[in-house]
Amino acid sequence: MIKVKLVGATGYGGVGLIELLLRHPEIEITTLIAASETGKPISHFYPHLAGLCDKMVYAADAHEAEGEADVVVYSTPDGIGMQLAPEEVKKGRKILDYSGDFRFNSTELYAEYATRQGLDTDHKAPELLQDSVYGLAELHRAEIADATVVGNPGCYAVACILGLAPAAREKMIENGKIICDGKTGISGAGKKPKPGFHYPEAYDNTYAYKLAGHQHVMEVERELSLLAGSDIKTTFTPQVIPMARGILATLYGTLPQGVTQEKVLAAYTDFYKDSPFVRVSDSPSSTGHVRGSNFVNLTVACDERTGTLRIISHIDNLIKGQAGSALQNLNIMFGFDEMTGLNLPGAHP
Amino acid sequence: MIKVKLVGATGYGGVGLIELLLRHPEIEITTLIAASETGKPISHFYPHLAGLCDKMVYAADAHEAEGEADVVVYSTPDGIGMQLAPEEVKKGRKILDYSGDFRFNSTELYAEYATRQGLDTDHKAPELLQDSVYGLAELHRAEIADATVVGNPGCYAVACILGLAPAAREKMIENGKIICDGKTGISGAGKKPKPGFHYPEAYDNTYAYKLAGHQHVMEVERELSLLAGSDIKTTFTPQVIPMARGILATLYGTLPQGVTQEKVLAAYTDFYKDSPFVRVSDSPSSTGHVRGSNFVNLTVACDERTGTLRIISHIDNLIKGQAGSALQNLNIMFGFDEMTGLNLPGAHP
Amino acid sequence: MIKVKLVGATGYGGVGLIELLLRHPEIEITTLIAASETGKPISHFYPHLAGLCDKMVYAADAHEAEGEADVVVYSTPDGIGMQLAPEEVKKGRKILDYSGDFRFNSTELYAEYATRQGLDTDHKAPELLQDSVYGLAELHRAEIADATVVGNPGCYAVACILGLAPAAREKMIENGKIICDGKTGISGAGKKPKPGFHYPEAYDNTYAYKLAGHQHVMEVERELSLLAGSDIKTTFTPQVIPMARGILATLYGTLPQGVTQEKVLAAYTDFYKDSPFVRVSDSPSSTGHVRGSNFVNLTVACDERTGTLRIISHIDNLIKGQAGSALQNLNIMFGFDEMTGLNLPGAHP
Amino acid sequence: MIKVKLVGATGYGGVGLIELLLRHPEIEITTLIAASETGKPISHFYPHLAGLCDKMVYAADAHEAEGEADVVVYSTPDGIGMQLAPEEVKKGRKILDYSGDFRFNSTELYAEYATRQGLDTDHKAPELLQDSVYGLAELHRAEIADATVVGNPGCYAVACILGLAPAAREKMIENGKIICDGKTGISGAGKKPKPGFHYPEAYDNTYAYKLAGHQHVMEVERELSLLAGSDIKTTFTPQVIPMARGILATLYGTLPQGVTQEKVLAAYTDFYKDSPFVRVSDSPSSTGHVRGSNFVNLTVACDERTGTLRIISHIDNLIKGQAGSALQNLNIMFGFDEMTGLNLPGAHP
């Protein structure tokens, strides 16, 4: 059994991985670490786990925090993983980090990201950053397999990049500009209560936020530009809708002359033919169809009347957008079939 | 008191007008007509009205259906108003229709609309159609004041047209193309239960629909093209989100060289300076801020980095998108201040 | 115009009263006071009020806080009203308080309440307490009309007391014991975000709380015992359900020998024949039927097979359970018809 | 592998079993039958299953409907299973039925049930009925292991019976009367859209229904009376709350003299010590803690002040209340550990 030490166990991203690993035959969690909710079993903080996972949660400086581990997963905010990872790597452990710490494999790109986020621009582990791999399996399977350090992608970024990757590579985006109109469930903001997420404020309500720039834009532009071989600029409008789980990203670009809906559909089908979690179609889908699972449903729905490339991308923000991608990466990093423990549907309805 | 006969009283559009008129000092409802739910007081079908409005609902062919009326309001699907209106007009009554019957004041345009909708292309009241007025008060106040027949606009159309009218008139939309990414609450589909609106299917779920073309696109293109003096083509993506009430329309275009966020904001502020229901801002808003009221909140949020005009338009689909616009039109048609009975907030939360 | 100074303007209880008074012809708000959200217009904190109520919110110690007022309304937690009211009464102002401060018109009862709540048992304004009136208009109309100080009832208490008052007075509750199974929307907890009210935690979830005793039980027992002329003991189970607004209280007792559903229904109909906001029926209703309004819907549904008195009580917790009862009381205190400004339905759906 | 033929595959109860069996190592579905949605893969009707279960759905009279099977599961309304089961039993197949057809193992009791439900009182398979077993594993494990025909319990019945079984057996219910105040998510009504379940009607709303008697009461009374050795009469108030999944049943009785909270808690803990899916506690829980899983959370919360036995029972109505109990029964019928395929949590949040 591959052993996982999970840092940041008591957030939604942490508990999501715990849930998934409870059904995995080859990977187990050995050690749970958290910042503030410690000293009690994880099932105290998440009672749905009672009897299924009652492991103790320890503080990072507890002596039990050392743990046994083949890999350390950081389900933590920006800035934690890069501080703690070097010591773990010295012990021969692999690293998977959920934050922006290892999504940009150069100190220059990281500094740009940090600037946008108002963070310290100095990366704390530049030597690890250099060889880190962006953990979007559908684009970087081979590098992930060989990586020591993997940076798990942002939830919106997963929906946007997978939604536009084939179009970018096949030059189906005219003039290098795309629009991403994103709608997210509220769990994307984590478990900390805030005024806008208070049930009476959030129900029957929807609103846009971070109009000046969202932290995932840079990943999207980097990955799509790499695929296109030229700059792709993104206008991104994140919006909160009254759901707990799910992202719907409606993606728009200008179709080059002669590119039809049919050609786009064919390109997408081909691009993802070996990606078992991506379901391409020209029919409407819904976030309900991917809720609770690691699937990505892409609807190709170009508007030929107006010459518009239009792709609708559906994921569960906490699975394919977070813990599911993490497990998919772990599977690849340790040589298991990438669907292991993930080839299951969510519960409907 | 101005007297209203309401046809289609038992749908959401009808009951919405009843609610609003209960607080209007100058307009009263005298007669309620419906297709199937008849023979009982309206409060039987909508018990929240018990003790406040207990008027009988009659079938259109009941002898009580004649009623006393200065105006007949058709809160009915396409095709009803145009059949019944001519006889009412002969009696000297004005007409306000919620459907597409009187939104296009030429038989040619109507035929195009009917074709797209799969309806009979022959208009049944061409003489009324000729002089009918599109009932979006912010654009057609003066004509509405003089009109005999007013076609109330579609809910999405209200959000899109008001969201882009200043930009269209001021030539702030490059290359004549816009994207409207619309999110609607489920009441927009009316009160008839359908599988996609069944609570267990609709909760925690979102999806796009009518990707091949929505019935409101034609109104949007007609009005915006008129304002721009040139063709404006719209890519429209309607999406259902788990709300009962509200529309959020995120509107995108390409900014012409030299047009900045500041200039756009100034143009919008100026355009709506005499429109009391339109609140223009450069701050984020929410559908919650307009829920239960006739207000339109417009956020001007251009993305100068990518050269993108971006406007976020918020309405209550059942008020400004339907019964509220209807009452605003009635106020104008009968010479009252357009805010009469409408200068109230919804209830928060 | 009667002038109101509102203390605690920025909570749900305060904003609820602002909304209601915007449609009242005889009562106006002159001064808004809050503890922390001050120095800006109320429409800054509640943007749905923009253009409708843009009054400044002041701190209690600002010089503008004196204000002009015929009555001061405290929409504040326990302990505030009793400290500030005496000085206002000296100025000849009446008092309406939303908290437990003036619900028990004796220092002994207050001390018992305070003990249960873990509050200081010394009342700060015993001379006002002595003559204060419990503000449930259906039971205490005449005393409210003459009162200087009125204690607005708790939201659950309104639902339970009105649901059982006729049965209590008519000796239709065997053995002095009742069960109140209460379900509340989350707005009942106020606007402060907490973990259990975070949207992702609260949606699709329901749970009981305060099983050791809820603060409203004492009001319920006091009022029902007074009506019955003997002790009535209440087992109360408060439960949170995923709604913003509304309380459904299902009330159970044992029917005395010979008391039938028919007799209970007749007793209820008679008891409330002069109470315009109470709608008695033997048909199922819903919180939706009272949402946004000051009505109370009572369904009499005894189970004769098991000899059980069963009443289902429906209110909007923020209207009849709070701001609506407050306005009903203000109407009575100042000699207006008690329905003034309140004879309106909510918006459906 | 044990082979299952599933009749009624396209309802929520059917798809729930499909989801669960996808993760079961020893039981597989071979044949899917439905009444109207046929001729296409199950993933056409439930797209979340695409790529995971794409089996064809056949009509009952299709020649493929014969199938290979060790057991036939009827996820069908009353009256179907009893007609089709006899022929299957002749082939040596076991039967599990979700409806009331096999919950009462005598024709007299069935006739009483049928009368209450307005059904034909003649049972169509009396010889099977005679030996059928009530499929509530916690009470009838041994008989289920030996049964040919098992009648899966009603969802409310599971919550109520498990919530009161220890109290009934231990004589902790005075005077033979209990109150069950039930709150259910809307999926309990199945997938067929109806007016009260239309999203705009069901959101932010709650209401009681079937006040004259619910079909599950008879099961509850039968099982509890058997345990108590004397008649237990139930007043049952079913209520719909705006959730998709979950049942919260708040159960009340009168405590006999001398029975304390402590004794009740001890009795419950002991009663369920060998039932791995029942979690007993004296702390509040929530339906969220059991959502997506087969667990039952019971909170023992007696009110000693009023002498009231109070138990709060939480289940997922579609898992422990339906498909999960079904799988637990299948495990027992075929000799697997009863937790096989069920020892997993739902996804949080």
Mutate to test the interface with D, among B10, B36, B198, B317 (most CBs of D within 10 A): B198
Is the pLDDT confidence value at B269 over 90? yes
Rounded to the nearest angstrom, the minimum Cα separation between A159 and chain B is 14
Using an 8 Å CB-CB cutoff, list residues of chain D that contact chain B: 12, 185-187, 191-195, 197-204, 242, 244-245
Q: Which residues of B touch D187 (CB under 8 A)?
A: 200
Q: Which residue of B has its CA nearest to C277?
A: B51
Tell me, what's the pLDDT at B214?
85
Domain identity same for C250 and C165: yes
Tell me, what's the pLDDT at C214?
85
Coil/strand/helix, residue C118: coil
A348 and D46: CB-CB below 8 Å? yes
* Residue-wise pLDDT tens digits, C306-320: 999 999 999 999 999
Residue C246 sits at the vertex; the CA angle it makes with C76 and D285, to the nearest 5 degrees, is 90
Closest CA to D347 of D293, D287, D281, D276: D293
CA distance A256 to A259: 6
DSSP for A35-54?
SSS-SSBHHHHSGGGTTT--
Residue C80's Cβ-side half-sphere holds a number of Cα atoms within 13 Å equal to: 18
Beta bridge partners of residue B309, listed in sequence order: B253
Tell me, what's the pLDDT at D214?
85
Tell me, what's the pLDDT at D125?
98
Domain identity same for C120 and C259: no
Domain identity same for D213 and D328: no
- Contact present, D185 and C204 (Cβ < 8 Å): yes
Q: Which residues of B touch D192 (CB under 8 A)?
A: 198
**Model confidence, pTM:** 0.97
Q: Cβ–Cβ contacts within 10 Å for residue A256, how many?
A: 14
Rounded to the nearest angstrom, the minimum Cα separation between B48 and chain C is 4
* Residue-wise pLDDT tens digits, A270-285: 999 999 999 999 999 9
D197 and B200: CB-CB below 8 Å? yes
Domain identity same for D249 and D279: yes
Residue D328 sits at the vertex; the CA angle it makes with D327 and D332, to the nearest 5 degrees, is 110
**Predicted ipTM?**
0.96
- Contact present, C315 and C242 (Cβ < 8 Å): no
Domain identity same for B149 and B163: no
B204: left (phi over 0), alpha (psi -120 to 50) or beta: left
At what angle are helices A261-271 and A155-169 packed, to 10 degrees?
Answer: 110
Per the structure, the complete domain to which residue B38 belongs is given by 2-153+321-333
Q: Which of C53, C155, C160, C302 does the annotation list as catalytic? A: C155
Mutate to test the interface with B, among A210, A214, A241, A255 (most CBs of B within 10 A): A241
C67 in a structural domain:
yes
| From C19, C244, C285, residue closest to B345, measured CB to CB | C19
What would the mean pLDDT of B206-218 be, rounded to a whole number?
91
Domains in chain D: how many in total?
2
Q: Which chains touch D (3 or more CB pairs under 8 A)?
A: A, B, C
Coil/strand/helix, residue D286: coil
Rounded to the nearest angstrom, the minimum Cα separation between D195 and chain B is 6
Residue A205: is it exposed, middle or buried by C-beta count within 10 angstroms (0-12/13-18/19+)?
buried
* Residue-wise pLDDT tens digits, A64-84: 999 999 999 999 999 999 999
Reading the block at residue D268, the tokens are 């419950």
A187 and C197: CB-CB below 8 Å? no
Coil/strand/helix, residue C188: helix
- Contact present, D26 and D338 (Cβ < 8 Å): no
D198 and B199: CB-CB below 8 Å? yes
Peptide bond into D166 cis (omega under 30): no
Residue C87: is it exposed, middle or buried by C-beta count within 10 angstroms (0-12/13-18/19+)?
exposed
Closest CA to B160 of B221, B112, B78, B225: B221
| From A287, A301, A303, residue closest to B206, measured CB to CB | A287
Q: Which residue of B has its CA nearest to C45?
A: B289
A344 in a structural domain:
no
Q: Which residues of A touch D22 (CB under 8 A)?
A: 344-345
CA distance D17 to D24: 10
CA distance A57 to A15: 12
Domain identity same for D282 and D225: yes
Coil/strand/helix, residue D14: helix
Peptide bond into D349 cis (omega under 30): yes
Domain identity same for C19 and C138: yes
CA distance C210 to C237: 8
D344 in a structural domain:
no
Catalytic annotation, residues of B: 155
Reading the block at residue C151, the tokens are 């204690």
E strand or H helix at C266: helix C261-271
B341 in a structural domain:
no
Q: Which residue of B has its CA nearest to C343?
A: B52
* Residue-wise pLDDT tens digits, A16-53: 999 999 999 999 999 999 999 999 999 999 999 999 99
Q: Which chains touch C (3 or more CB pairs under 8 A)?
A: A, B, D
E strand or H helix at A332: helix A324-333
Q: Which residue of A has its CA nearest to D277?
A: A51
- Contact present, D338 and D324 (Cβ < 8 Å): no
Amino acid identity of B243? M
* Residue-wise pLDDT tens digits, D168-210: 999 999 999 999 999 999 999 999 999 999 999 999 999 999 9
What would the mean pLDDT of B182-202 be, rounded to a whole number?
97
Domain identity same for D251 and D128: no
Q: What confidence tier does C207 reach under pLDDT thresholds 50, 70, 90?
A: very high
B280 in a structural domain:
yes
Residue with tokens 């048992």: C121
B343 in a structural domain:
no
Torsion sign, CA atoms C41, C42, C46, C48 = negative
D245 and C204: CB-CB below 8 Å? yes
Tell me, what's the pLDDT at D155?
97
On average, the pLDDT of chain A sits at 97
CA distance D300 to D253: 12
Q: What confidence tier does A213 reach under pLDDT thresholds 50, 70, 90?
A: confident
| From C206, C243, C246, residue closest to D248, measured CB to CB | C206
Reading the block at residue C52, the tokens are 């409708």
CA distance A76 to D206: 39
Is the pLDDT confidence value at C215 over 90? no
Is the pLDDT confidence value at A212 over 90? no
Which CATH number covers residue C76? Answer: 3.40.50.720
DSSP assigned state of C338: T
D252 and C248: CB-CB below 8 Å? no
- Contact present, B6 and B33 (Cβ < 8 Å): yes
Size of interface A-B (CB pairs under 8 A): 145
HEC secondary structure over chain B:
CEEEEEECCCCHHHHHHHHHHCCCCCEEEEEEECCCCCCCEHHHHCHHHCCCCCCEEECCCCHHHCCCCCEEEECCCCCCHHHHHHHHHHCCCEEEECCHHHCCCCHHHHHHHHHHHCCCCCCCCHHHHHHCEECCHHHHHHHHHHCCEEECCCHHHHHHHHHHHHHHHCCCCEEEEEEEEEEECHHHHCCCCCHHHEHHHHCCCCEECCCCCCCCHHHHHHHHHHHHCCCCEEEEEEEECCCCCCEEEEEEEECCCCCCHHHHHHHHHHHCCCCCCEEEECCCCCHHHCCCCCCEEEEECCECCCCEEEEEEEECCCHHHHHHHHHHHHHHHCCCCCCCCCCCCCCCC
Rounded to the nearest angstrom, the minimum Cα separation between C6 and chain D is 28
Mean pLDDT of successive 10-residue segments in chain D (349 residues)? 98 98 97 97 98 97 94 98 98 98 95 93 97 98 98 98 98 97 97 97 97 90 97 97 98 98 98 98 97 98 97 98 98 98 96
B298 in a structural domain:
yes
Longest dimension (CA), chain A: 65
- Contact present, A160 and A182 (Cβ < 8 Å): yes
B163 in a structural domain:
yes
| From A22, A204, A244, residue closest to D345, measured CB to CB | A22
Residue B71's Cβ-side half-sphere holds a number of Cα atoms within 13 Å equal to: 26
Q: Which residue of C has its CA nearest to A243?
A: C200
Domain identity same for D136 and D246: no
At what angle are helices B217-228 and B107-117 packed, to 10 degrees?
Answer: 140
Domain identity same for B60 and B179: no
| From B208, B233, B242, residue closest to A306, measured CB to CB | B233
State percent of chain C over pLDDT 70: 100
Rounded to the nearest angstrom, the minimum Cα separation between D245 and chain C is 7
| From C183, C211, C305, residue closest to D206, measured CB to CB | C183
Q: Which residue of B has its CA nearest to D349?
A: B204
Which residues are CB-contacts of D91 (< 8 A; sequence separation ≥ 6)? none
CA distance A26 to A49: 20
Which CATH number covers residue A282? Answer: 3.30.360.10
Torsion sign, CA atoms B223, B229, B230, B235 = negative
Domain identity same for C143 and C168: no
* Residue-wise pLDDT tens digits, C72-116: 999 999 999 999 999 999 999 999 999 999 999 999 999 999 998
Q: Which residues of B touch A242 (CB under 8 A)?
A: 241-243
Domain identity same for B327 and B235: no
